[in-house]
Amino acid sequence: MFAVEIAHLTKVYGQGETKVVAIADASFQVVPGELIAILGPSGSGKTTLLTSIGLINEPSQGRVVIDGQLLADDGWLPGVDLKRVRREKLGFIFQHHNLIPFLTALENVMVALEINGHSRAAAKARALELLAALNLSRRPHNYPAALSGGEAQRVAIARALANRPKVILADEPTAALDTENGKNVMAMLKQIAVENRSAVLVVTHDQRMVEGFDRIFEVRDGRIVKESKG
């Protein structure tokens, strides 16, 4: 079974003279454990593609299948609880860590688990496990303002992993980091893909950050113009 499958995915904004085709006829499949880069300049449609796969941005046409479940077929399927699918099967990492400033690193990870129905004790145990795995075992009680940029992004990764998602979607996760921290984050994502058997899709404009990826999709003007191996 594929972790992600999209077929003829298209997203159009506006009509007539204001019509903009953000994504045009994109099709690909991703298996569990695969690390995929979606590479292209600003405005090429990368983020629109990622948010459509992430069940945030409704496609105008085409199909979206996550972990074997059909979710969009020329629009969202009626009766599907998209919020629940996002909580249970998807993990999101963004350019900025988006941590809740009045919660500690530990609490920022725990909240993702508690929202999904885990007890406070189970959430704390899982959060501590993740923070330790990401070399943050000495930082659980620090607030975001007391963390470095790289540390805060690692907390965000821990939060994304909290519910053991089948698919992790990362939108420019290294853009706010220096080169060394950026490469460290990419190395962590590769490790996560292999060890957790999660499909990891990473949007980036930086060719230097995609060393070791399994496949690279290059996007221009809303179209996937090239697929290559990393």
Q: Is residue 37 part of a domain?
A: yes
Residue pair 87/38 in contact by the 8 Å Cβ criterion:
no
Instruction: Name the token pair of 190.
Output: 């590769």
pLDDT tens-place string over residues 119-133: 999 999 999 999 998
Q: Mind giving me the DSSP string for 35-67? A: EEEEE--TTSSHHHHHHHHTTSS--SEEEEEET
Q: Is residue 118 part of a domain?
A: no
Per-residue pLDDT, averaged over 112-120, amounts to 95
Q: Is residue 175 part of a domain?
A: yes
pLDDT tens-place string over residues 80-98: 999 999 999 999 999 889 9
Would you state the pLDDT for residue 99?
A: 96
Would you state the pLDDT for residue 107?
A: 97
Q: How many CA atoms lie within 13 A of 139 on its CB side?
A: 23
Other CB atoms within 10 Å distance of the CB of residue 164: 12
Give the separation between CA 90 and CA 55, rounded to whole angstroms.
9
Q: Is residue 137 part of a domain?
A: no
Q: What is the CATH number for 175?
A: 3.40.50.300
Residue with tokens 């070399």: 135
The residue range of the domain holding 13 is 4-74+82-97+163-229
Other CB atoms within 10 Å distance of the CB of residue 144: 19
Q: Is residue 69 part of a domain?
A: yes
Give the separation between CA 91 and CA 170, rounded to whole angstroms.
8
Higher pLDDT, 178 or 78: 78
Q: Is residue 158 part of a domain?
A: no
Asked if pLDDT for residue 78 goes beyond 90, the answer is yes
Q: Is residue 204 part of a domain?
A: yes
Residue pair 203/171 in contact by the 8 Å Cβ criterion:
yes
Angle between helices 105-115 and 120-133 (to 10 degrees): 130
Residue with tokens 């406070």: 120
Would you state the pLDDT for residue 127?
A: 96
Mean pLDDT over all residues of the chain?
93
Residue pair 37/202 in contact by the 8 Å Cβ criterion:
yes
Residue with tokens 């979710």: 71
Task: Specify the number of domains making up the chain.
Answer: 1
Asked if pLDDT for residue 76 goes beyond 80, the answer is yes
Per-residue pLDDT, averaged over 48-75, amounts to 96
Q: Is residue 29 part of a domain?
A: yes
Asked if pLDDT for residue 218 goes beyond 90, the answer is yes
Residue 230 three-state SS: coil
Give the separation between CA 60 and CA 93, rounded to whole angstroms.
25
pLDDT tens-place string over residues 157-185: 999 999 999 999 999 998 888 888 888 88
Would you state the pLDDT for residue 110?
A: 97
What pLDDT band is residue 28 in, cutting at 50, 70 and 90?
very high
Would you state the pLDDT for residue 101?
A: 97
Residue pair 60/11 in contact by the 8 Å Cβ criterion:
yes
Instruction: Name the token pair of 157.
Output: 């990764």
What pLDDT band is residue 6 in, cutting at 50, 70 and 90?
very high
Provide the b/e sequence for 32-69 (b: ≥16 CB within 10 Å): bbbbbbbbbeeebbbbbbbbbbbbebebbbbbbbbbee
